[in-house]
Copies of this chain bind each other. A is one copy, B any other.
Amino acid sequence: MPMYKSDQLAHQLKSLIEKNIWKAHTKLPSLREQVESSGFSLMTVMNAYQKLEAQGLIYSKEKSGYFVAEQTKPALDSASTLAPKIEINSSVFKYLKSIQTPNLVSLGSAFPDSELLLPIKLRQIVSQLARYPKSYDQTTNLPPGNLALRKIIAQRYCMQGIPTQADDIVITSGGLDALNLSLQALTQPGDYIVLQQTTFYGAWQAAERLGLKVITVPEHAHCGIDVDAFEQLILHYPVKVCWMMFNAHNPLGFTVSEEIKFKIAKLLHQHHIHLIEDDVYEELFDGLNKPLPMKYYDQNNLVMHCSSFSKTLGAGFRVGWVYAGKYSEHIQHLQLMSTISANTLVQNALVEFLSSHHYEKHLRSLRLKLKKNKKRFYHYLKQNLPTQCRIHYELGGYFLCIMLPEQASSEEIYKTLLNQNIAVAPSILFNYSQQHQQFIRINCSFDWSNHIQSALDVLTITLKQLSNAKLET
């Protein structure tokens, strides 16, 4: 592969830094000086400087130019990497369109089986309210959203020991809207953000759209998140915002322990880094107590906690929220320029439903059903999967990830299964880099049936055929 001129120049400069000829915090020659001394074009010099900056070897100060970065910082774990320019949208789009085919066994969906959602009491309330014009009145539901609904949400935070006022909450058009608005409010194009190596594709897409630089933090087999790697990368890069999931992680399913959450919160606090906490599965835990969100450990209004009713009541409602705190006005600003408000009738219906004991009752029953269904899926898959495939059981949520044998392609398996009318989510959607282990995510929220069993049979046979083929080659 031919070397670009900018790589050539970056290489020269890098060796000056590494050999300590250029000491830490020394000012680099200005772009113009470098153009003159090197004979390269301005574009080449700019590209070279930007590459060095991306590698953490130099840093820039506004109006002052570039400076050599501190080399005593810990070497970056190779697993934490600055992702190249992100272009994930096309493949996600193709995937999302493909799983809209009717009569598909929808094991690729991120939503629980709709048969488990939409409790009859909620539908009755919507039906009742729908008769009156007042229920559709937008005025009382404009940003920051329905006051009664915000009070109820605030109350639920308080019950977890997180002091919250109704004015801290902004109602959004679903959870993704909450996450996107938060990222837009907290960043400028070119900023560095941290995503988990394996993460919900919506985060990648948002970063792409806003022109952000993404650094990924690797998973840790026991802790969920590799805290050491996390610390290294925030020492290394001028990170502005992290967008991460700590409870019932999508797609991997893990819930981070209190201890690790505390450590990460401390690091965020020390370095004044904001966290956009995607916690849309917070209510679907497996056990007696709802896991604490990172918001609980937030000392300095650094955490924007985002959640929604899409995974507990119904995906089609499009009502979510963000604990925006002092950023409330900024978020409302962005809303009034885009979606204006979430559906008014639904906001009103949610107020009535959530004010009763019906929500807690529904959640308890939903959690039990999801736990039962996921266990059933797990045991069936464990019995039937080829030995080269691994499968973890994590508490909470309703996903299982099947880890594929080395060199298997999740995309190939997804396509093969799609031809047989079964949708699964391939790891390519969650993992921008192709170097990491491939897997497929299975939605296990469905009640057991012959239909489901047949689909899992096709799945396991496909994986066996693949494993045999790989063994033969």
Contact = CB atoms under 8 A, between A and B. Distances in A.
Interface stretch (A21-29, A234-242, A255-263, A314-322): A314-322
11 contacts: A114-B136, A138-B314, A138-B315, A138-B316, A141-B316, A176-B338, A209-B337, A318-B341, A338-B338, A339-B339, A345-B346
Q: How many copies does the complex hold?
A: 2
Q: Count chain B CB atoms within 10 A of each CB in A126, A127, A142, A316 and give the residue with the most.
A: A316
Nearest to A313: B136
A137 interface: yes
A124 B131 contact: yes
B174 A340 contact: yes
A452 interface: no
Interface residues of A, number: 60
A32 to B, nearest CB: 6
Contacts of A127: 127-128, 130-131
A179 to B, nearest CB: 10
Given A141-B316, A177-B338, A317-B343, 5 more contacts: A123-B133, A127-B131, A130-B130, A173-B173, A318-B341
A467 interface: no
Given A173-B339, A318-B342, A126 B130 contact: yes
B136 A317 contact: yes
B131 A314 contact: no
B345 A126 contact: yes
Contacts of A126: 126, 130, 345
Interface stretch (A92-100, A220-228, A384-392, A414-422): A92-100
A363 interface: no
Contact of A133 (B115, B138, B141, B346): B115
A123 B314 CA distance: 21
Nearest to A209: B337
Given A100-B142, A130-B130, A176-B338, A93 B343 contact: no
Interface in A154-178: 173-174, 176-177
Interface of A: 31-32, 35, 41-42, 89, 92-93, 96-97, 100, 106, 111, 114-115, 117-118, 123-124, 126-128, 130-133, 136-139, 141-142, 173-174, 176-177, 180, 202, 205-206, 209, 314-318, 329, 332-333, 336-346
Contacts of A136: 114, 118, 123, 314-317
Contacts of A141: 316
A36 to B, nearest CB: 9
Given A130-B130, A133-B118, A138-B111, A176 B124 contact: no
A395 to B, nearest CB: 27
B138 A132 contact: no
B318 A340 contact: yes
Contact of A336 (B92, B133, B138, B337): B92
A111 B142 CA distance: 13
Q: Count chain B CB atoms within 10 A of each CB in A31, A136, A138, A205 and give the residue with the most.
A: A136
Contact of A114 (B89, B133, B173, B316): B133
Contacts of A137: 114, 316
Contacts of A123: 130-133, 136
Q: Count chain B CB atoms within 10 A of each CB in A41, A114, A117, A130 and give the residue with the most.
A: A130
A176 to B, nearest CB: 6
A279 to B, nearest CB: 18
A206 B137 CA distance: 26
Contact of A339 (B96, B115, B117, B318): B318
Q: Count chain B CB atoms within 10 A of each CB in A41, A89, A337 and give the residue with the most.
A: A337
A187 to B, nearest CB: 13
A141 to B, nearest CB: 6
A176 B343 contact: no
A225 to B, nearest CB: 25
A345 B316 CA distance: 7
A344 B332 contact: no
B341 A316 contact: yes
A62 B42 CA distance: 15
A183 to B, nearest CB: 11
Contacts of A339: 173-174, 176-177, 318, 339
Contacts of A344: 315-317
